[in-house]
Amino acid sequence: MATLEGRADALRTARAALAAALAGDGRLVLVAGEPGIGKSALLGELAREAGQRGALVLAAVCWDGPAVPAYWPWIQLLRAARAAGAELGAAADLVERPAAPAPTPAMAAADARFRLAESVVTETLRVPAPRTPSGSVNA
């Protein structure tokens, strides 16, 4: 078990959520805070532990900007789940046609950059993720 300096309480809470999820009681862990406080390290450790225990680990990144579609992190998670073989049901519509913000002239360049980045992500998701012998996705 890794020790993250000053993050023992947060890691304990995250590990408890992981244990509950692995026992069939689904959980969502949201980690927020200022840059540099260890959010990525904390989640990286939790993802590593979850993968070792056979869990499918999905991740999303929040982008800030006027051209980012509504619910963007959720769209990323749903796409990753679909790529891993999950049935999305009614959520499939959100993945196929994400809601776009109302366009303005100032958004044109930002929208073009976002759409380019989004298409790269979409194509990357089409590449199968390597799986461990237990069937979990290595991320």
- Report the Cα–Cα distance between both ends of the chain, in Å, rounded: 19
Report pLDDT digits (tens) over 63-97: 777 777 777 888 888 888 888 888 877 777 767 76
What does 30-78 look like in DSSP terms, one character per residue? Answer: ----STTSSHHHHHHHHHHHHHHTT----------STTSPTTHHHHHHH
Kindly state whether residues 65 and 115 are assigned to the same domain: yes
- For residue 49, what pLDDT is reported? 94
- For residue 98, what pLDDT is reported? 58
Task: Give the total number of structural domains in the chain.
Answer: 2
- Say what the pTM is: 0.60
- For residue 73, what pLDDT is reported? 83
The region of weakest confidence among 16-25, 79-88, 130-139 is 130-139
Domain limits for position 80: 61-130
**Contact at 8 Å (CB) between 72 and 34?**
no
Kindly state whether residues 94 and 112 are assigned to the same domain: yes
Residue 27 pLDDT exceeds 70 = yes
**Contact at 8 Å (CB) between 70 and 26?**
no
